[in-house]
């Protein structure tokens, strides 16, 4: 099930230029009582729409809850506007929009980073979007930059050549995913004559053939004011902001060719396959037999466009089918043990879209059987009206997800831009939510009959040819690079500054409210921060019950325990627990990390008692039913196979195990053997030993009265007691490798390699931590503005994404650099990275780099504090890590206090090019080509 707005995927490198799919797994649901319509007026109220003389649509909305603003430019052009032979040109142009302009011939990512902007971009079916969220005083600067690249972007041979290589690296990264390959095959078969059947990102064959003239013409045609919507939300005054908009965007001219009909490049080709009423012969399944880990199913059915009156009923139908654990397909496929996961979503777009269902087979289960049960579930929906309980739950799910998904100004800007671009009206959500409230059982049944027609189904199976899921052979060695490589000079921020529009700096976190902190009599620690701006609750928590307690023999125990908490208590079974939350549009989930079991929940403020009571019930009274344990074990085994088949997952595991010795708690990772050995008694023992109130911390941010929440917490957790002292691990320090260590892992069938470089480093409370953050910002904190990004991505085009980080927790975690590269580029990228580390070690950083990095970190921090969900996580983490309650307010001052001497010490202590562990996972030619020249 999906939210009614575009769903942005954060690519794992957290950079930019990601592709947006139409659906996501969203597991909120609804109430069995009568549903009160949720109004979108609170989000559209105060929105002002302005049409400039050049045709640019401007949407402004003042939201004065945090000192930040979001600026987004939505171009009404995406893969829908492409034709065969130019598949991916919208995406290619998106990359080029960061390469600079005639007046500012520099990487725009560096300019945005210098402003402290949290920025990104994506290409989808109907639109290409650029967005950034900054402190309010940077609004004019952001508008100036966006206006500049709307008209003056550099689209030349040099820019296109380098970004083609980067795009191909990105596409090859997607090719690593069997799900991506299956989706491409199914969509091409479902829509052979429509642009929606093409991959949004494009194909390597088409990208390689793009010419400068071709891309430049595309830019001139579609990146024109009358084909764009500018959205501004946040803490600003409308009239002065519009004045700046008119001074920047208003002077731009319309550039679209007069004989071009915008927006409708593929409308004429929306052929019979888009019409669900057309009677055609049922298609044979598409079967892909390729290297992989898990068996996958994907089914697609044609749908109408977003303005069609059936859309609300279709989305309610989808929520009934796939909205959470109580949904029909979850019960039929996952709870039955046939599938490890099942999800779905409706793509309702400018042109007729589609409904998609996906499932991952459980170990040993046949895709044909899953397809049969799927069809039986759909047929039942067509033949019998849904119950009032299901209907109301689905409605509440959709309505609550709208509110919870729009808690911050960036999301609100997203919603307005999506509505205006795709539906043609920023007020679309008002009509949509009103219509959702009126959907009847008969309309849901009719939607199922009309659109889930077996004759219109396109179904695909991915059958892995590596049933054991094991990676291929590996090679290892240690030594130093023998390549001669000299990195270019670091970008001088002083030179960069001349291209920055003027902006003041007003970082002031002193106004940030501090959480109230107290401890219950049983030792449970609580942090409360009341925020009455929206009727929502965001809950975060952690228990000292992480995977560090597993041991190698029972690796996976902490996760299995966490994953089984919601499977039953002394008074409620799994389905009852799910309905308790989903009936109210709330959710609660658990997962284990190295240093703790984390939990998080969201809901409307009226449902805070239900969230707290459910949390207390599972923490105190979980029963771990044997049948549910077996189902979760099968899901864990499937996840393990997927991880070992993914260069990112396998590479990180090998990297981690190369850094930490076998007896170290951070060395253990689940294996098929360890997962199969875990018994119900093991889970009960772990639960009784490690789930204690005196090792639990809860943070709640949202719309509540603290006194009432305190009383509630005391009431529901009062009987939870612990005996004795909590278990404590003594974690030994880890020595760095004596020499550079190189490990390679081959995974058959992959097209892109992933490399990890690093070693064990520091903890969060290390006195060098803040200096390390500033140093990391310079080195690789941002893929587009850092030294690593500048050299390896921009100058050499060797990677789609590269970044570095200090994974500092309660205990020292690794310093690591991660990158993805095309098969032939891994060794060059590694050599470039090592040369940069040596350059950093030998030459240090400049004063301008140092000051720019500090400003970038402190300027972006207020954006983190503008989202209640993020604030909940921040105050929880600060507490768990043993930091002061005022850390949330004092963090910018800590960064500003870092001196150049601190940076020099951090470089000396923490940058060790001669002691690196380097792990590459991917296709054989990526990890072995050039190895003879690389290793001694």
Residue 256: pLDDT over 70: no
The least confident of 5-19, 120-134, 154-168, 303-317 is 5-19
Strand partners, 134: 69
Residue 512: pLDDT over 90: no
Q: What is the pLDDT of residues 297-326, one digit of tens each?
A: 999 999 999 999 999 999 999 999 999 999
The whole-number pLDDT of residue 508 equals 59
Q: With bands split at pLDDT 50, 70 and 90, how would you rate the model's confidence at 37?
A: low
Burial label, 258 (beta-carbon count in 10 A; 0-12, 13-18, 19+): exposed
User: In terms of DSSP bridges, do strands 296-302 and 741-746 run parallel, antiparallel, or are they unpaired?
Assistant: unpaired
| Nearest partner of 755 among 812, 833, 814, 839, judged by Cα | 833
Q: With bands split at pLDDT 50, 70 and 90, how would you rate the model's confidence at 824?
A: confident
Instruction: Tell me the helix, strand and coil percentages in the chain, rounded to 5.
Output: 45, 20, 40
Q: Which residues contact 916 (CB under 8 A, 6 or more apart)?
A: 737, 740, 741, 757, 758, 759, 834, 837
The whole-number pLDDT of residue 276 equals 53
The whole-number pLDDT of residue 419 equals 97
Q: Is the Cα torsion angle 406, 409, 414, 419 positive or negative in sign?
A: positive
The whole-number pLDDT of residue 493 equals 78
Q: Which residues contact 379 (CB under 8 A, 6 or more apart)?
A: none
Residue 4: pLDDT over 80: no
DSSP 285: P
Considering only CA atoms, give the Rg of the chain.
27
> CA of 630: how far to CAs of 80, 340, 425, in Å?
44, 12, 49
Q: With bands split at pLDDT 50, 70 and 90, how would you rate the model's confidence at 376?
A: very high
Q: Which residues contact 238 (CB under 8 A, 6 or more apart)?
A: 48, 60, 62
Average pLDDT, the chain: 90
The whole-number pLDDT of residue 203 equals 94
Q: With bands split at pLDDT 50, 70 and 90, how would you rate the model's confidence at 490?
A: confident
Q: What percent of the chain has pLDDT over 90?
A: 83
The whole-number pLDDT of residue 455 equals 95
User: In terms of DSSP bridges, do strands 917-922 and 741-746 run parallel, antiparallel, or are they unpaired?
Assistant: parallel
CA angle 217/792/120 to nearest 5° reads 55
Cβ count near 293 (within 10 Å)? 26
Q: With bands split at pLDDT 50, 70 and 90, how would you rate the model's confidence at 275?
A: low
The whole-number pLDDT of residue 664 equals 94
The least confident of 86-95, 98-107, 110-119, 921-930 is 921-930
Q: What is the pLDDT of residues 343-356, one digit of tens each?
A: 999 999 999 999 99
The whole-number pLDDT of residue 489 equals 77
Q: With bands split at pLDDT 50, 70 and 90, how would you rate the model's confidence at 497?
A: confident
What is residue 744's three-state secondary structure?
Answer: strand
Query: Can you spell out the DSSP letters for 398-464?
Result: HHHHHHHTTSSHHHHHHHHHHIIIIIS-TTHHHHHHHHHHH--HHHHHHHHHHH--GGG-EEEEEEE
532 or 928: whose pLDDT is higher? 532
Cα–Cα distance for residue pair 869/887, rounded to 1 Å: 17
Phi, psi of 477 (to 5 degrees): 180, 175
| Nearest partner of 56 among 246, 328, 293, judged by Cα | 246
Phi, psi of 926 (to 5 degrees): -80, -40
What is residue 819's three-state secondary structure?
Answer: strand
Cα–Cα distance for residue pair 99/216, rounded to 1 Å: 14
Where do we find the tokens 């772990």? 686
User: Is 357 within 8 Å of 344 (Cβ atoms)?
Assistant: yes
What mean pLDDT do residues 725-749 have? 92
The whole-number pLDDT of residue 339 equals 98
The whole-number pLDDT of residue 19 equals 30
Extended strands (E) in 326-403: 339-347, 354-361
Q: With bands split at pLDDT 50, 70 and 90, how would you rate the model's confidence at 472?
A: low
The whole-number pLDDT of residue 875 equals 97
User: Is 781 within 8 Å of 804 (Cβ atoms)?
Assistant: yes
Cα–Cα distance for residue pair 520/529, rounded to 1 Å: 17
Phi, psi of 802 (to 5 degrees): -145, 135
pTM: 0.92
Q: What is the pLDDT of residues 164-220, one digit of tens each?
A: 999 999 999 999 999 999 999 999 999 999 999 999 999 999 999 999 999 999 999
Show the tokens assigned to 330: 């979850």
Cβ count near 906 (within 10 Å)? 24
The least confident of 159-163, 488-492, 715-719, 913-917 is 488-492
What mean pLDDT do residues 404-419 have? 96
Q: HSE on the CB side for 662, CA within 13 Å?
A: 2
Cα–Cα distance for residue pair 605/716, rounded to 1 Å: 18
Where do we find the tokens 């307010």? 889
User: Is 547 within 8 Å of 559 (Cβ atoms)?
Assistant: yes
Q: What percent of the chain has pLDDT over 70?
A: 89
Cα–Cα distance for residue pair 19/7, rounded to 1 Å: 10
Show the tokens assigned to 748: 């058959």
258 or 826: whose pLDDT is higher? 826
What is residue 671's three-state secondary structure?
Answer: coil
Show the tokens assigned to 920: 């590459």
Query: Can you spell out the DSSP letters for 747-813?
Result: -TT-S-EEEEEEEE---TT-TTHHHHHHHHHHHTSSTTTSHHIIIIIIIT--EEEEEEEE---SS--
Q: With bands split at pLDDT 50, 70 and 90, how would you rate the model's confidence at 263?
A: very low
What is residue 46's three-state secondary structure?
Answer: coil
Q: What is the pLDDT of residues 687-710, one digit of tens each?
A: 999 999 999 999 999 999 999 999
Residue 404: pLDDT over 50: yes
Cα–Cα distance for residue pair 34/434, rounded to 1 Å: 14
304 or 467: whose pLDDT is higher? 304
Strand partners, 325: none
Strand partners, 917: 741, 758
User: Is 114 within 8 Å of 106 (Cβ atoms)?
Assistant: no
Q: What is the pLDDT of residues 622-678, one digit of tens each?
A: 999 999 999 999 999 999 999 999 999 999 999 999 999 999 999 999 999 999 999
Phi, psi of 370 (to 5 degrees): -60, -45
Cα–Cα distance for residue pair 520/540, rounded to 1 Å: 17
The whole-number pLDDT of residue 640 equals 97
CA angle 717/720/724 to nearest 5° reads 140
């Amino acid at each position: 099930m999906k939210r009614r707005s575009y769903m942005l995927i954060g690519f794992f490198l957290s950079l930019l230029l990601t592709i947006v799919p139409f659906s996501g797994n969203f597991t909120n649901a609804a109430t069995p009582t009568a549903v009160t319509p949720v109004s979108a007026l609170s989000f559209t109220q105060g929105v002002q729409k302005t049409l400039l003389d050049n045709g640019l649509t401007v949407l402004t909305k003042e939201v004065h809850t945090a000192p930040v603003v979001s600026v987004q430019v939505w171009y009404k052009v995406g893969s829908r506007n492409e034709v065969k032979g130019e598949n991916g040109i919208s995406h290619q142009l998106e990359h080029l929009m960061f390469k600079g302009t005639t007046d500012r011939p520099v990487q725009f990512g560096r300019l945005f980073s210098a402003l402290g902007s949290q920025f990104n971009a994506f290409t989808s079916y109907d639109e290409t979007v650029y967005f950034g969220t900054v402190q309010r005083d940077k609004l004019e600067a952001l508008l100036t930059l966006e206006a500049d690249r709307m008209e003056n972007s550099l689209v030349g041979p040099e820019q296109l050549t380098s970004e083609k290589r980067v795009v191909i690296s990105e596409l090859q990264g997607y090719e690593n995913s069997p799900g991506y390959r299956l989706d491409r095959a199914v969509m091409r078969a479902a829509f052979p004559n429509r642009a929606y059947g093409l991959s949004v990102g494009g194909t390597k064959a088409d990208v390689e053939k793009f010419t400068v003239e071709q891309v430049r013409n595309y830019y001139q045609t579609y990146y024109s004011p009358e084909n764009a919507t500018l959205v501004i939300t946040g803490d600003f005054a409308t009239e002065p902001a519009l004045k700046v908009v008119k001074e920047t965007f208003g002077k731009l001219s319309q550039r679209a060719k007069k004989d071009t009909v915008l927006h409708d490049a593929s409308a004429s080709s929306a052929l019979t396959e888009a019409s669900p009423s057309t009677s055609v012969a049922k298609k044979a399944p598409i079967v892909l037999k390729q290297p992989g880990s898990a068996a996958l199913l994907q089914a697609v059915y044609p749908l109408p466009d977003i303005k069609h009156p059936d859309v609300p009923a279709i989305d309610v139908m989808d929520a009934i089918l796939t909205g959470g654990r109580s949904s029909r397909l979850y019960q039929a496929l996952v709870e039955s043990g046939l599938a490890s996961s099942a999800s779905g979503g409706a793509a309702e777009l400018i042109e007729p879209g589609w409904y998609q269902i996906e499932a991952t087979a459980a170990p040993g289960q046949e895709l044909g059987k899953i397809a049969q049960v799927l069809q039986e579930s759909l047929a039942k929906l067509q033949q019998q009206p849904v119950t009032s309980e299901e209907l109301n739950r689905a409605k509440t799910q959709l309505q609550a997800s709208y509110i919870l998904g729009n808690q911050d100004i960036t999301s609100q800007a997203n919603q307005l831009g999506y509505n205006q671009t795709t539906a043609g009206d920023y007020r679309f959500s008002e009509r949509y939510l009103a219509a959702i409230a009126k959907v009847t059982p008969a309309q849901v049944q009719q939607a199922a009959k009309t659109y889930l027609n077996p004759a219109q189904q396109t179904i695909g199976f991915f059958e892995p040819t590596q049933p054991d899921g094991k990676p291929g052979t590996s090679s290892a060695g240690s030594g130093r690079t023998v390549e001669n490589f000299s990195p270019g000079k670091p970008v001088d921020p002083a030179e960069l500054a001349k291209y920055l529009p003027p902006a003041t700096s007003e970082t002031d976190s002193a106004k940030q409210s501090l959480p109230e902190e107290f401890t219950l009599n049983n030792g449970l620690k609580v942090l409360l921060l009341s925020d009455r701006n929206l009727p929502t609750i965001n809950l975060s928590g952690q228990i000292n019950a992480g995977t560090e307690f597993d041991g190698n023999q029972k690796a996976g125990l902490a996760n299995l325990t966490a994953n089984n908490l919601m499977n039953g208590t002394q008074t409620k079974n799994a389905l009852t627990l799910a309905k308790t939350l989903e009936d109210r549009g709330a959710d609660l989930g658990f997962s284990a990390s190295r240093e703790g079991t984390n939990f998080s929940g969201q809901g409307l403020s009226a449902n805070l008692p239900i969230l707290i009571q459910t949390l207390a019930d599972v923490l105190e009274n979980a029963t771990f039913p044997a049948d549910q344990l077996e189902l979760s074990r099968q899901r864990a085994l499937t996840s393990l196979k997927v991880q070992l088949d993914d260069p990112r997952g396998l590479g990180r595991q090998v990297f981690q195990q190369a850094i930490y010795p076998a007896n170290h708690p951070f060395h253990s990772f689940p294996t098929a053997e360890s997962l199969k050995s875990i018994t119900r008694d093991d889970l009960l023992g772990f639960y009784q030993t490690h789930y204690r109130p005196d090792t639990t911390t809860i943070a709640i941010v949202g719309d509540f009265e603290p006194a009432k929440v305190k009383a509630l917490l005391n009431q529901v957790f009062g009987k939870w007691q612990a005996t004795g002292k909590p278990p404590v691990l003594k974690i030994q320090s880890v020595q760095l490798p004596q020499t550079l260590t190189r490990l390679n892992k081959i995974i058959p069938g992959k097209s892109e390699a992933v490399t990890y470089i690093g070693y064990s480093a520091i903890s969060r409370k290390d006195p060098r931590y803040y200096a390390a953050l500033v140093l990391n910002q310079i080195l690789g904190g941002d893929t587009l503005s850092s030294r690593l990004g500048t050299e390896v991505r921009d100058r050499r085009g060797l990677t789609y994404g590269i970044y570095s980080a200090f994974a500092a927790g309660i205990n020292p975690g690794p310093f690591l650099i991660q990158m993805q590269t095309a098969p032939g580029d891994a060794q060059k990228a590694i050599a470039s990275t090592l040369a940069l580390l040596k350059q950093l070690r030998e030459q240090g950083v400049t004063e301008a780099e140092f000051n720019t990095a500090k400003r970038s970190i402190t300027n972006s921090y207020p954006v983190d504090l503008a989202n209640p969900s993020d604030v909940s996580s921040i105050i929880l983490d600060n507490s768990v890590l043993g930091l002061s309650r005022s850390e949330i307010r004092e963090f910018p001052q800590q960064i500003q206090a870092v001196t150049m001497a601190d940076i020099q010490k951090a470089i000396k202590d923490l940058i060790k090019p001669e002691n690196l562990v380097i792990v590459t996972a991917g296709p054989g030619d990526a990890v072995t080509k050039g190895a003879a020249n690389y290793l001694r």
